Structure 1
């Protein structure tokens, strides 16, 4: 859910404060008013969830001094300055210092609302990006995103922890949609470079000339960023679709890697996403570059190898989408659980996300089945099942685990409520929870 944005109104004239506040409140904004810059500074900080509208001429600390203080604390905080009629030089100076924009008295209220809309949108994006960066720099949090108790996922997490502590370059490969970029984030987050730069470039998204410039420079004077190899210095440079690099750019990259020596000043994590049948990253790269990048290697497992993790993921995803769309998550029957486990998942986790969202939407409408969604993803509209059968016992246990997990989650760890809904004696419930590795503490609100 998007964070509600506030608007701090700073003006020494009470009538002006009230007028601006009332107009913006009618436009749906949450406002707070301050009679001086000094008073406002007690509240406004780097994580203030909103924007500032301030008069430029005030007794004590004036608007320009106030603006400089705010920019020193958080240069990304949008500040709209109110200037006197014809005071263009002061408005220009305010923009130079870092003001988002300015309003000239007497101003049009609709113009103020439009500026507030733009500024709050920019602020929300800034705060969301900061939250994402904090999350991606927290190794513990990002490892929790690699959901699953299957042996292949346990091994993946172990590999990430091991290679995260190493300092060599890494090659991540696997089928499309398996979460290779998430693994790259995790490698960075659990290692010694966690606090350093993390730069991600898609080698398939740019033409060769533009990619060469973005990776290695030279940048033009008007460019606001460094070449990626410089921007990521000391940190991690992730190159998605590494197999899309031309021969000349492969040679340049190899030269840069050789110049860095060991340990590498900038760690390169290469992601291969080849989808051509029978072709690998080793086929696409020159041998000397491949062996430098693949000194350490992680292969992300496809979803079809993750067993009952599929049900766990589907449950988590459908819960997230049901919260987003304001409805109940769909209940999965035993037959549907078996269908989810048997599907081949050519699109892997990305496909599962799509299926979970569509399941929530059709559940909200009160129609459709998971089987129909799986079939609609298949070109020939035939039942989508793997050829690899499993013993009935495995399907039953996977469904049973999902059912207990969902019920515990819904009742926030209330053992009595779960016993009542599933008609299970306490001893049986305890034994099954122990069998499936479920702990009551994980569900407590």
Structure 2
């Protein structure tokens, strides 16, 4: 057994000293407390592998201490020492969660063996909890990253491995493979999940507004800056900043971005004092950054900073076994949004999907499923027809208006990469009205950010 940290609690100084000596000789690292209250104060600042405590003590007895410890989220095992007359107390202690109760006077080998066994069993319980937690998180990823292919299974494992770290992640994959889905999964499975997730399409940030958009600005910092803005980095403070299409970031702005990533602080435009930022960076691109570096359009040192961990998303044509599962998922999703029962895929339709090359990847499959649902509203149509006829005709005025409204909203969101304010302005409606329409149509602005 490796060296362990043990907290010894006893009001008898001689007994406490003897226990400390015994544990040190056995190779452990004991700490001492003279009563339950002192023990709890110590447990607040230090982590122990086990607690060894007497039952009868002034101020706070061993049973009260036990109940306090077992209320912790991940309590250490507790072994109690009792006199022969304390048998009823010993029974109560076992019911309250004590690992075991050892009567005084005790034999040193028995006490040490009980201590070692308690720590070993506790370690097994913790490992089981960790594995159950990992399986639960994997199960949650099943509904986010849909598929049974080896490539997707490996991607889910990779996401779990890196989600709880601070490592910068570069997500690579063709357009439509789901890069933002991966970025959001990394955020949701991290200890930053309750903090903001901010997605920025670097290709859509105007060059002249890059610094102000990314790092913020003070009021009157430039013409039109009537009030201060915090910028994307500060908006994501404590959370995750997703830099999509990082390969499209103009070379003249990459040095500024690199400086912020290295210093972990920003200087808003118009300000003179740097402000610290705590963000986890996830970036994504469908470009070959090595080629961009050779061409002089991307900085090699920035790639090193962004590419601590690299996740590669497979194209849909490279995981064809997932297509029926994804198609069924999207048909169900679209059926719910349109309020109709989704049609079942027959073998011929599955074969048609399997033969398609899917240049638009998962995003294209989602659109095909939507067209299939639109045709199902009229009791006809097929996957093959949906693949061949992107502009599904509507037979009634109501259908035509619904399709036209949906197409206008979809086009506006695609044009502005999911930015609600810009899309609403283009459509001539308020953001609230646009949001209500998205809810009614079963759409989400996040689906229109480049992936």
Q: TM-score, normalised by structure 1?
A: 0.49
Q: TM-score, normalised by structure 2?
A: 0.49
Choose 1 or 2 for highest CA Rg. 2
